[in-house]
A and B are shown apart, each in its own frame.
Chain A
């Protein structure tokens, strides 16, 4: 158990809809990262927050957004969903910048 929790485990929704994925980092970790894993693109970094502030952006679509709250949990919002957004979405946290990361179990999103 990494100490990072993610909800929900599975999500099935239709094209055009909006969903919110939730992540709680390990106790004390200030950095939260979001990744997308799909068969064709592999594991891709989406966005990072550090102590409530956006710190780095990766290959995140404009339809996607995230935030980190004062209690350090984070949410990833995916809107106007397309079939190609079906993937595993992972949250990770770390104690320090550019350090080892601890991954949650992921949310499997299926867009039909």
Chain B
């Protein structure tokens, strides 16, 4: 399967702590993206990192990409209750397909 794999499947932390979630994939990519989904709602694009980038920041988000290991991580610093959501990594698989392939997601719960 070309599907991405997120780890952990679920994560519960205290407000103010940092949350790290990981994504592994099997195909070659030209970029990898992270999305957030609040319960039953649409996905929100968080950040895109290109294959020639190793790290990217956006506000409290830090994303890393290691193309040799085919893996990426998303770090959310100083977590807030509003960060409670599911987080998905996504990428365009090889072979010319232009639809995103998503992992199964990490469900993050921030305890107040």
A-side interface residues toward B, CB under 8 Å? 2, 4, 31, 33, 35, 42-48, 50, 55-56, 58, 88, 90, 92, 97-106, 108
Contact across chains for B31 and A56 when beta carbons are under 8 A apart: no
| Number of A-B contacts defined by CB within 8 Å | 63
* Closest chain B residue, CB of each to CB of A2: B42
B99 within 8 A of A: yes
Contact across chains for B92 and A103 when beta carbons are under 8 A apart: no
B43 contact set on A, CB distance < 8 A? 43, 90, 92, 103
Contact across chains for B98 and A97 when beta carbons are under 8 A apart: yes
A35 to B105, CA, bound (A): 15
B97 within 8 A of A: yes
Q: How far is the CB of A99 from chain B (nearest CB, A)?
A: 8
Contact across chains for A48 and B98 when beta carbons are under 8 A apart: yes
Contact across chains for A56 and B96 when beta carbons are under 8 A apart: yes
Known A2-B42, A104-B42, A108-B40; further 17 A-B contacts with Cβ < 8 A? A31-B98, A33-B100, A44-B102, A45-B101, A48-B99, A50-B98, A56-B96, A58-B97, A88-B40, A90-B42, A90-B43, A98-B92, A98-B98, A100-B48, A103-B45, A105-B42, A106-B40
Q: Which of B67-112 contact A (CB under 8 A)?
A: 88, 92, 96-105
Q: How far is the CB of A64 from chain B (nearest CB, A)?
A: 14
A98 to B102, CA, bound (A): 14
B60 within 8 A of A: no
A48 to B98, CA, bound (A): 7
With known contacts A90-B43, A106-B41, A56–B97 Cβ distance under 8 A: yes
Contact across chains for A58 and B88 when beta carbons are under 8 A apart: no
